[in-house]
Each structure stands twice: as structure tokens, then as C-alpha cells.
Amino acid sequence: MIKAGIIGSTGYAGQQLVWLLKRHKEVEIIFLSSHSYTNLTFSDVYPQYDRFIEDLCIDIHTAENKFSLIDVLFIALPHGKSFDITKKALNLGVKVIDLGADFRLKSTEAYENWYGLTHGCSDLLAASIYGLPELYRENIKESNLIANPGCYPTASILALAPLLKEKLIDPNSIIIDAKSGVSGAGRKENIQTLFAECNESIKAYAVGSHRHTPEIEQEVSNIYGENIYLSFTPHLIPMNRGILATCYGNLKEKITQESLNKIYEDFYRDDYFVRMRKNFPETRWVKGTNLCDLHVCVDERVGRVIVVSAIDNLMKGAAGQAIQNMNILFNINETHGLELMAMAP
């Protein structure tokens, strides 16, 4: 059995992770840690888990004393809070999967500029692997530190990767227009995500300045082999879960719809969690699953390609992807604990 500890277990990403780990047949949870709910049971915080998840939430220092008992540590804390914990866990030979952004950007300078924080252990950045299995599966297998990607970047990079690998679009023409459900903002108190502030309304936010921009740029640049700068505009929409990313790029040369479909099918042939759809995806089709649905479309009239991707931000955008990474790290089937969970409607 893989022995796991979770820090930040009572946040939205953390609780989804706990639920997945409880169902995972190869995993034993050794501890759950929380900041505000210590000495309460997990089901005191999330009553829907009453009878099923009764573990006590312990504080972070008590959790640190248990690091020697675990094989893998999941961290689901706000940015800037993972540095010391990660160092302690790695020093004890524990593998770390960080759901936050502290190890995603390879450039310390970029991290400090975009996050407005000093990086607490930039010496670990070279060793951390960006945990997008569809691109880095082989590197993940060899690593002890996985930087689980952000939700918007997961949806955007998976949508654009085949186009960039084949150099089909002008890299300076990329526009990503993405929408997220409110759980993407976490459970912490925030006026913007109060019901009356976001229900029956849609808004763009952090236009031209969202911290996922450098993360997406880093990864699409790696695929293309040159620095790429793009426009990324996130929107908040009144639903609980889900991200829909509509990505645009100018085609360098004409290509048929059939050829493009084939390029995408080939690129994702071995990736169980990416589904090529015949129609434009909807967030409800991936809700509660670790899937990323994609549909690609050539707009011949304007010489542009449009790719739409849909994920569940708490699953493929966070906890599901973290489980997928754990499965790869421990050499077990990538789909374990992530079997089909979607419900209709």
C-alpha cells in the first residue's frame, strides 16, 4: 500500500483529493492536515462524508512529525506555503506532489514577478517536474517532486499542444478565452465569489495579468521550441465546477479538418484521459471525472483554428491529475482510482 499524507486537506482541492484517495485501493491515508479545523473530523468539516471519512484533521506541525511514516505527501496550500514542508518531506525520502504553483515555473524571477513572493527554495526548481502526464509521463516516473499544473493551464496546454508540436499556427497569434466555475477560487472567504456577487453574471478578470499566463507560456514554448507570448483571458461564471477554454491560433498554411482531426487523434492516442469529441465539449460531460474533452475546428474563411477544451477544475485541473501523477510515480495503472464517475444529467 502507498502511505499518503495530505496537507491542506480541507480546501476544495484537498477535499477532492481525500475523497479520491479514500476510494483508491492501493492507498492508505496516514494523516489529514488542516489550518482552521484542527481536532475536528473530516466529516465535521464536510458533512457529506459522514460515516465514510472520519479521520481527524491534525495541525501542520503534528503532520510534519509523521512524514517518516508516509511514501507520498500531497500539498494543497495557497501559493508560497509549500517551500519548507517540501524540503522537509524530500529530505526524509518522501515523494511530494504539490497542487499549488510554487514549483511550476522554472524561472525564479518569473515566479517572484507574477506571484509577488520570494521563492523559498529555487534550488529545487531544476528537479521539479511539471506534472502534466500527457507531456511528461516519462520524467514524472523518475521524479520525487511533482508540480501539479494549474487548472486553466491544463485545459489550455492540452488544447494547444498538437498544433504547436506540428508548428501549424503562428505562435504569436494565440488567444485563450477561458471560463471557470467558482470552486476554482477555493473555499477561502472572498467577496468576489459570494453568491450574490457572481450568480447570474459573467465577468472577465485579471485580463493581461493572470498568473497562469507565464505557466501556459512556459509549457507551450517548450513544445514549440521558441519563446511564445500569448493572450489569456479568464472569466468567472456562475457554476460550481468546470473550465471551458476556447483557444485560437492563425494557421500558417491551409489544412483540412480531416488532417487536423488525425493530428489530434495521433497525438493523444495513448492518453486515456483525453477524449477527442465530434462536437464542441461541455463542462457537464467531464464533471466529476479526470477527463479533458477536446474538439478542434478549422475556420477556413479566416484561416484560423479554434480548439475548445473542457475539464473539471477540481479533477483534471487539480486532485484527479494529482492522483494520476501518484499512479505514475508508484508505477501503477494511471487510471487507478480515477475510473468513470460522471453522472447524467
Ligand X SMILES: CC(=O)N[C@@H](CCC(=O)OP(=O)(O)O)C(=O)O
Task: Kindly indicate which of the ranges 73-81, 109-117, 265-273, 292-300 contains the residues binding ligand NDP, using the contact rule CB under 6 A.
Answer: 73-81
Residues in 234-293 that interact with ligand X by CB under 6 A: 234, 236
Does 121 qualify as catalytic in the annotation? no
Asked if 235 interacts with ligand NDP (CB under 6 A), we say: no
How many Cα atoms are found within 13 Å in the side-chain-facing hemisphere of 185?
A: 22
> Could you tell me the smallest distance in angstroms from the CB atom of residue 101 to ligand X?
4
> Could you tell me the smallest distance in angstroms from the CB atom of residue 238 to ligand X?
11
CA 163 to chain centre: 21
Task: List, in order, residues 6 or more apart from 111 with CB less than 8 Å away.
Answer: 101, 102, 105, 117, 119, 122
Residues in 146-165 that interact with ligand NDP by CB under 6 A: 150-151
Instruction: Using CB under 6 A, pick the residue from 188, 205, 300, 342 that binds ligand NDP.
Output: 188
Q: Quote the CA–CA distance of 214 and 232 in Å, as a whole number.
A: 10
Residues in 86-115 that interact with ligand NDP by CB under 6 A: 99-101
Asked if 180 interacts with ligand X (CB under 6 A), we say: yes
Asked if 320 interacts with ligand X (CB under 6 A), we say: no
Number of residues lying near ligand NDP (CB under 6 A): 30
Using CA of residue 273, residue 249, residue 281, residue 190, what is the dihedral sign? positive
CB nearer to ligand X: pick between 180 and 325? 180
CA dihedral 45, 46, 49, 52 (to 10 degrees): -20
Helix (H/G/I), strand (E/B), else coil: 130? strand
Asked if 317 interacts with ligand NDP (CB under 6 A), we say: yes
The answer to whether 245 and 176 are in contact (CB under 8 A) is yes
Binding site for ligand X (CB under 6 A): 100-101, 150-151, 180, 184-185, 234, 236
